Amino acid sequence: MFDTAKYGPWAVIAGGSEGVGAELARQLADLGINLVLLARKPEPLAAIAEDVAARGVEVRTLRQDLLDPEALANVRALTDGLDVGLFIYNAGSNTYRGEFVDSDPAGVQGVIDLNITTPLAFLRHFGSRLKQRRSGGIIVLGSGSSFVGHANIATYPAAKAFLRIFVEGLWLELKPYDVDVLELCLGLTRTPAMERLGYDFDKPGRVSSDPAAVAREGLEHLAEGPSWLAGGLDLIARQRVGFPRAEVVTGVDASYRAISGR
Ligand SMILES: NC(=O)c1ccc[n+]([C@@H]2O[C@H](COP(=O)([O-])OP(=O)(O)OC[C@H]3O[C@@H](n4cnc5c(N)ncnc54)[C@H](OP(=O)(O)O)[C@@H]3O)[C@@H](O)[C@H]2O)c1
């Protein structure tokens, strides 16, 4: 049950222009929550702003690369005067592929910064505001890949694993202040970013989630942290079978090769 008094009147979505972030924006607008939406590409940002405004809420957008060192300062300039009740960190899909030992250090660092450095800076800021407010919510997007190591994208699931464990600690710390913290952990989900990465969602037998469905799950279960496993539950459940690890790692590797066609 989504508590509009607790999580409103404003929500900030880092990565709020496409896929799950855009669906979260639409559903929050339908609940009467005003929105601040951050992303890089202007066209999707303008399109979602028009869409949510038509649903009757106020919307502010900022073209911002979250990897820019000035990102938090720029977002603060836009949000310090707003009563923010909900902060969502959605951006974070994998941006680098290749064997780690042959990798470009800057590419690897980008994955770490988008999934660890920047979210921690934003969570410190908005978490502190919500703690002082003694009411609100935080959602951080996680990945089912983070329960086990993966070849060729070794940094991405490891960064998401860090984020999940971090969120568990933050959930404990903010609980006494009536601030709900949730890792919304996704399986394969049909988003523009994944389509750009080459995933063929129409391939026969491929199982994927719909962005609107997982967004709905996240908002409905926001108070049921620290983690909510949305969609793709079968694969995630298999990854969580603890030991022997070698069997788990090779089994999951085979599953991923089958679903990604790589
Ligand atoms: N889709 C899946 O199958 C799947 C599975 C497991 C977990 N997840 C997680 O779910 C979240 C959403 O994934 P997604 O597939 O929708 O892809 P995504 O690439 O994380 O994109 C989501 C949003 O973030 C914005 N964004 C991405 N990088 C940004 C940056 N550097 N600065 C500012 N904004 C940025 C995008 O807009 P711009 O590109 O215009 O900036 C878009 O609005 C991610 O955290 C991902 O790890 C997704």
Distance CA 232, CA 215 (A): 14
Q: How far is the CA of 96 from the centre of ligand 1 (A)?
A: 13
Give me the residues paired with residue 167 across strands.
Answer: none
Report the pocket of ligand 1 as residue ranges, CB < 6 Å: 15-21, 38-41, 44, 64-67, 90-93, 114, 141, 143, 186, 188-189, 191, 193-194
Please, which residues have CB within 8 angstroms of residue 29's CB and are 6 or more apart in sequence?
A: 35, 51, 52, 55, 56, 57, 59
Q: How far is the CA of 244 from the centre of ligand 1 (A)?
A: 32
Please, which residues have CB within 8 angstroms of residue 102's CB and are 6 or more apart in sequence?
A: none
CB of 171 within 8 A of CB of 226?
yes
- pTM exceeds 0.75, yes or no: yes
pLDDT tens for the chain, residues 1 to 262:
899 999 999 999 999 999 999 999 999 999 999 999 999 999 999 999 999 999 999 999 999 999 999 999 999 999 999 999 999 999 999 999 999 999 999 999 999 999 999 999 999 999 999 999 999 999 999 998 898 899 999 999 999 999 999 999 999 999 999 999 999 999 889 999 998 888 888 887 777 889 999 999 999 999 999 988 887 555 555 555 555 667 766 777 787 777 776 6
Q: How far is the CA of 246 from the centre of ligand 1 (A)?
A: 30
**Which atom of ligand 1 approaches the CA of 189 most closely?**
3
Domains, the chain, ordered by start: 4-260 (3.40.50.720)
